[in-house]
Structures are given as structure tokens and as C-alpha cells.
Amino acid sequence: MFRLLSLIISIIIFALSAMAAPNYLTLQGQIIDPNGQAVEGNSVNVTVEIYSPGSEQCLLYQEVHNLNMVNSSGLFSLKMGDGVQSGTDYEDTASFFNAFNNNLGPVSPTTCDSVGSYTPSASDGRKFRLIIDDGVNVINTALADVNSSPFAMSAASVGGLQAADILVVNTDASHTLDQASIDTIFENANYTELLALIGGTSTQYMVSAPTAGVDYNGQVITNLADPSNPTEAATKNYSDTFIGGQSVNAAIASLGAAQDGQVLVWDGVASEWKTQSPPAGLPTTGGTMTGNINMGGNDITNANDIALTNDLSVGNNVTVTGGIGVGTGINSSGPIQLTNQNELRLGDADNSNYVGFKAPDPIGANLVWTLPATDGTAGQILSTTGGGVLQWVTDDGGDFFADGSAAMTGDLDLGNHNIINLAGGSAAAPSLSFNADSNTGVFSGAGDTLSFTTAGSEAMTIDANGRVGVGVSAPLAKLELSNTSLGTNSLLSKGSPTVTANGTYYDLGVSARVQKDVNVGITDSGYAMGLQGVGYLNGDGTLSAAYGVRGHAGTFTSGTGTVTNSYAGYFKVVNQAPGTLTNGYGVYVGDGQATNSFGIYQEGSDDVNYFQGSVGIGTTGPITPLSVGPSSLSLAGMATNSAASLTATSASTVLVEGTSASSAGAGGGIAIFSNDGSAMASGDRLGTVVMGGSSSASSLRNTASVTAYAEQNWVDSSAYGTNL
């Protein structure tokens, strides 16, 4: 271990600038090893740790110095606050200054012996220790007190002034408070002007409420707003563009020789003053003209009523915004136009009421109607030819109004035309409905979709792809049926044709056909399924039966005729073209997943099964009419005491369990009989085999000798034998 013979601490405070905080403390000492030799390694790490002075003993700061002490006689000098900090704990990120700052307030260092926080007071000192590592040995020095440094680095008062009473330098991005800026402000001339500004006696600025005239020394006031109150000054722009508080026409600002003699008039529509040439030869109000008024080819506009005792002859248009009172009629060689959608009024005898016509708004193009040359007959209606000519036509009967205000009293004949632009409607309110049944009809709920509704609910839909959905609004197939009504059929096809003459008729209840066209060189890994039947239980209850496909064929309850061939199910694999069918299955029964799975189950005990080809049991390649695979053939009767037999095509028994062909009993043996009923061989449960007869003497036993008899029938019917 190390022995610190001398540890001298001297505190030197360096300041970066006036009133700045100290940068570091100088620490000097000598390191002697246990043998009395000075430590002179080329890489000695000295860790400096600063602690709080109390029992909480919180680590406030930590840094590392790497010293080269070769030929140093163990002497070292380092600057506390100038070492290397690494890590993310409090002591690794805190500044050296804050470690000694008694004005910092409460802190929560990472490492404390107790409490977990430290609040420095004005008189607090600090403790420090060194951890010395020369690569061979490591020593931790005892905690030592540092009392003068905190006072030097963080004084509670200066000359009796507290910290809040002292001006602090602030030179961040938004402040320039330092000695130089203070010197500038308090330079004699600037300080005198500052006092004048405060006292309101400065001559460099105008006061808010002057008591005498303000001299602008021949200068202008710029960037003023236009006035809005009577006591506010007017700008040049305001005086150029307003007269009497009202705006003027832009042309007034550029008056020149061309406007010589014009007068200023008020335009109430545009709310502005403007210039125009003065009227010539017009009398004042109430005056009388002594000559003609020459309009110079111009119009008389914006006039009120024009009262005439004689005719008014106008070569050009007369534009009137008020009314024209005429006692003897209006004769015009040109059109009479009422503007702004004003109506043409036709008054009654005392002018108390009138009828009128007015133009619609908007009008895409000018339109003129030519009236019929003669009066129509009674009951005729006025119709248009589509070319602006009106004519009398005879109504063919019936009532029809576009707004539906009158109901039809007869049939509507469209004359081979279409009904277009119907509203889309909805299931509750279809666009085509029926009398007293407004929620049943036809509507279009989406683009290119036709739907039928009954009782306000969508019943059938034909979508844009031609798919039909019954009970479903978005069908996924050419025909999709959805039924949630219990005890009803989703699809019922019922045909009841009547045959009254001999012939060949093919009547199909349901015909489903899929004919796929797969191009040469293309492989379709799917399938073509003409008809699929699915019967599922979708729930947790019990269903007595589920049929994928069920077929009935024969005669109905009232049928007394004859059906030559009745097929409940007819299946046939065909190849109508020179193609290739690898495997053809007339009936393919998949692997059942029931508790008891039957591939084919026949209910009737007296029914006959007929197979024209070979039958394989346990083999897919039968070579005889009946081929049994590697498993043995077991007859049901052999498992009990009942007799069981195999019968040849001549109906003669060839194998029977029992004692005779006619009465096969529970003999427990096997007998073979010829087709005439005579025994050929037999064997019992004891192992006795009888050949050529039923005599027990002619037998083979596993415990007896072999006895053979030779029989020969002679002419005289006597029998001889040789005993072997």
C-alpha cells in the first residue's frame, strides 16, 4: 500500500473576469511507498472526490487526473477542477464550481450515505479524498476538510450587501450587461441626457402632451395612418382620395386637359365622387323645353315615369328602371326590353290587380317564342316545337305533373321513350313504388346497382358485375342466396310438367354446369364443380341429421303409373373428347370423421347390390369379380353359432358352417358340398378331416395313422376297396 508522507493543500482562486467564479484549486503533495521509496510511475491515476460535510456525506463531484511521475521523487501537483469527468451520475456531470457553491440550494446526488439529498448553508465547508492507483496498488485517503474554499468561492455577503443587492454580469444572447456597457451609459454626456429623459426636459424627443408648438424644422411626418376622428391630421393620400370624407374616382387624381369643363358629381351606387361633362340645354326642375332634345344617338337611362299626351317615337332602345305610363299605346319598331328580371304586368279594369310574366334566372342563351297565328280550339294546349315556335295541340288525355301534385287517372304511354334521371331511393323509400305500398319497389342504392325492396327491407340486388343477391346486398357469386328464416328453403325448384303425347322429354329440376377452358400449357390446380352440397351444424346444440346431398326418385304419393328405372343418384365419369382422364371415380367417398364412419351404408336388408365390374376389398386393383386384399375374409355368421355360406352362381352351396347343406347348424365345422347337395369334404373343430364322405373312418387326425380307401363302382354296383 501507499503511504502519504506529505499532503499539502494550497488554495489558489483564479477568476476569468471581473465578478466571475473561480476555476480550480491547486493540490500538491508527495507519494511514498511502504519501503520509503518515492512513487515514480509513468501513469498514476489520481481520482479527486468532493463530499458534503455532514452525516449525509453526498458525493458532489468526481474527476480523474493521469500523472507522469517519472523522476518526480514522488512529488505531484494537480488542479482540482481541471480533471477528466466521465459517466452519467450526478458527480460525473456536476461542475466543480457548484460542488463548492453554498447558494446552490438543495441537490440530490446519486451517492449519499443517508437522507439522499444535501442543502448547503452559507458556512458549510467541504470534504475531499484521493484515490491513487499506480497500476499495482490502490489506496483511498481519509476524508479531509476543505473550509476556506467554499467561503472564497461563494461568499454570503460583500461589504454587508447580500447577493440580491449586487449587480451581476449577464452577457447571454439577449443581454449585454457588463462593465463596458455600464461605462457607456454612465459617461457624463449620456448620463446627463438620461436624467433629462427621465425628467421630461430632453430636447431630442417630443413629449406626449406638448404645451407649445412643435417645430419640425421643415421636415415631414411620414408613415401616418389615415384619420378616423375629427381631430386627427389628414395625410396627403387621404386628401387626394377623399372629399368630404367620401372617396373619389381614380380618374380625379389624374385630371388634365381632357377633363376641361367637367363637373364633379356623386355616384351613389359606387359610393364615390367622379367627374363628367355638364348637361347642355336641360332646364331646371319644373322648366319647359322650348325645343327638341338631341340625344346624339344615346339612350335615356335611369328615368322615372315618362308621361306623354302624344306618341313616343324611339329609333333606338329605351331603358327604363321605373315604369312607363302609356294612355294610347306603345308603337315600337324595335324590341321592348325589361331588364333585371322585371315582369311584364297586365292590369285588370281598375288596375287593382294584374297578371305578369318574368324571365327565369339564369338563362343560358337568348330565347324568343313565336305565338300561333290563330286561336286554338276548346281544350287544346299550347306546346312548343322545340325551335321557339308555339302551337296549339290536342291533349291525348290523362293527368301528369312533374311535381306530383296531380295523380294519374289513366295509363302513361311513353311512346317508346325512356324514363330517366330517377332518384336513387332507398330500401325504405324506393324510387319506384306502388299505390298504398310506398316501401315496396325498386331503387338503386349504389352506382350501377339495381335493388328490389319489400316492406322496407332489401330483398334482391343486382350489382355492377351482374351478380344477383337474394337476401344479401353484396353478392359474391352470379347468384347468392342468404336465408335466416327457420324452417324455410333457401332455394326451391319445383317443376310439374304434364305429358299428353308420346315423345322423349328431359325435365330437370336443377341443372348446374361448369365448363372450364384451360389453355394449352396452363395448369389449373383448382377444380370444376358442377354442384356442391353442404349441410353443417353451426352451433352448440344437437341436430338429428345433416345432408350434403340427398336424392329421392320414384313415384309421388298420388302416382299410379310405372317408372322403368328410378335413380336416387346417378353418377358417371365421361370423356367426350380425345382428352385424358387419369382417375375416374363414379362415387368417391372421402375419409369420414364421425364416431362411426360408413363409406356406403345400405338400409334395406332385402335390397340387392349389383356390380358389373370387379370389386376390390382392401385393394385398388381387383383381378377377379371379388378380390380381397391382404386381410382375411370374414363372414358375419362365423363369428357366432349361426350358419354362414358362400353360394356359387348356380345357387348351390359350396361352403357352409354346419353339418349339411340344407340345414347348416352350429356344428362348429366346415363342410363343402357339390351342386347336387352331396358332401365332398368336411372338417370339425377337433381337427378331423373327412374326404369323400361323412364316415369318420375315412379321416385324417393329427394323432392317428392315415387310412386311405379306394372306391370303384362296378357294373354290378358292388364296391371294392383296398385297405392301406
477-511 per-position pLDDT tens digit: 888 888 888 877 777 877 888 889 999 988 887 88
In the predicted model, what is the mean pLDDT of residues 607-623? 82
Say which residue, 252 or 135, is predicted with more confidence: 135
- What is the pLDDT, as a whole number, of residue 335? 81
Cα separation, 403 vs 426, whole angstroms: 20
Closest CA to 593 of 676, 509, 536, 649: 536
Q: What cell numbers appear for 153 in the block? A: 468561492
Quote the pLDDT of residue 348. Answer: 92
pLDDT at residue 249 tops 80: no
Looking at the chain, the whole-number percentage of residues with pLDDT higher than 90 is 15
Query: 477 or 252: whose pLDDT is higher?
Result: 477
pLDDT grade for 203, boundaries at 50, 70 and 90: confident
Q: Is residue 653's pLDDT more than 80?
A: no
The most confident of 430-439, 617-626, 710-719, by mean pLDDT: 430-439
The owner of cell 356406403 is 600
Give the mean model confidence (pLDDT) for residues 376-396: 86
At residue 675, the pLDDT reads: 62
What mean pLDDT value characterizes the chain? 77
Kindly report, residue by residue over 554-582, the tens digit of the pLDDT.
Answer: 888 777 888 888 888 888 888 877 778 88
Q: What is the pLDDT of residues 397-442, one digit of tens each?
A: 655 555 655 666 667 777 788 888 888 889 898 988 888 888 999 9
For residue 237, pLDDT over 70 is answered with: yes
Residue 449's pLDDT is what?
Answer: 92
d(CA 298, CA 240): 33
> For residue 37, what pLDDT is reported?
84
d(CA 404, CA 506): 52
Highest mean pLDDT among 251-260, 289-298, 327-336, 458-467: 458-467
Q: For residue 59, which phi and psi values (nearest 5 degrees)?
A: -80, 115
Distance CA 148, CA 443 (A): 97
Say which residue, 476 or 283, is predicted with more confidence.
476
Q: What is the mean pLDDT of residues 502-530?
A: 86
Q: What is the pLDDT of residue 453?
A: 92
User: Would you state the torsion angle of the CA atoms of residues 316, 322, 328, 329, taken in this order, to the nearest 10 degrees?
Assistant: 50
pLDDT of 150 strictly over 80: no
Give the range among 104-118, 196-210, 367-381, 448-462 with minimum mean pLDDT.
Answer: 196-210
Element containing residue 50 per DSSP (H, E): strand 44-51
pLDDT of residue 696: 47
Q: What is the mean pLDDT of residues 149-160?
A: 58
Report d(CA 334, CA 316) in Å as an integer.
Answer: 7
pLDDT band at 713 (very low <50, low <70, confident <90, very high): very low
Residue 646: per-residue pLDDT = 58
Query: What cell does 41 get?
Result: 510511475
Around 279, how many Cα atoms within 13 Å sit in the side-chain half-sphere?
A: 9
Go through 210-222 and write b for each residue having 16 or more CB atoms within 10 A of its CB, e for each that does not: eeeeeeeeeeeee
Residue 592: pLDDT band (50, 70, 90) is confident
Residue 89: what pLDDT? 93
Let me know: does 643 contact 637? Beta carbons within 8 Å: yes
Q: Using 50, 70 and 90 to split pLDDT, how confident is the model at 111?
A: very high
Residue range 701-722: mean pLDDT, rounded: 46
The more confidently predicted of residues 552 and 53 is 53
- Bridge partners of 76, per DSSP, are 29
pLDDT, one tens digit per residue, over 86-95 is 989 999 999 9
Question: Would you say residue 23 has pLDDT above 80?
Answer: no
pLDDT of residue 637: 46
Residue 48 clears pLDDT 50, i.e. is over it: yes
Q: What mean pLDDT comes out for the span 198-217?
A: 79
Mean pLDDT of 302-316: 67
The model's pTM is 0.37
User: Among 215-229, 293-307, 673-687, which range has the highest average pLDDT?
Assistant: 215-229
Give me the pLDDT at residue 651, please. Answer: 45
Q: For residue 629, is pLDDT > 70?
A: yes
pLDDT at 320: 64
Terminus-to-terminus CA distance in the chain, angstroms?
Answer: 122
Q: How far apart are CA 500 and CA 510, in angstroms?
A: 23
Evaluate if residue 680 carries a pLDDT over 50: yes
Strands 59-67 and 44-51: antiparallel
Q: Is residue 645 scored above 60 in pLDDT?
A: no
Residue 666: the pLDDT is 44
Query: Which among 488, 495, 458 is positioned nearest to 475, based on CA atoms?
Result: 458
- pLDDT of 1 reads 46
pLDDT band at residue 148 using 50, 70 and 90 as cut-offs = low
Per-residue model confidence (pLDDT) at position 309: 67
Q: Which of 60-69, 517-526, 665-674 has the lowest mean pLDDT?
A: 665-674
Cell numbers placing 114: 443517508
**pLDDT value at 323 more than 50:** yes
Element (DSSP H or E) covering residue 132: strand 126-133
Whether residue 632 is predicted with pLDDT greater than 70 in this model: the reply is no
| pLDDT at residue 285 in the model | 62
Q: What's the mean pLDDT in 93-110?
A: 90
**Mean pLDDT value across residues 207-226:** 80
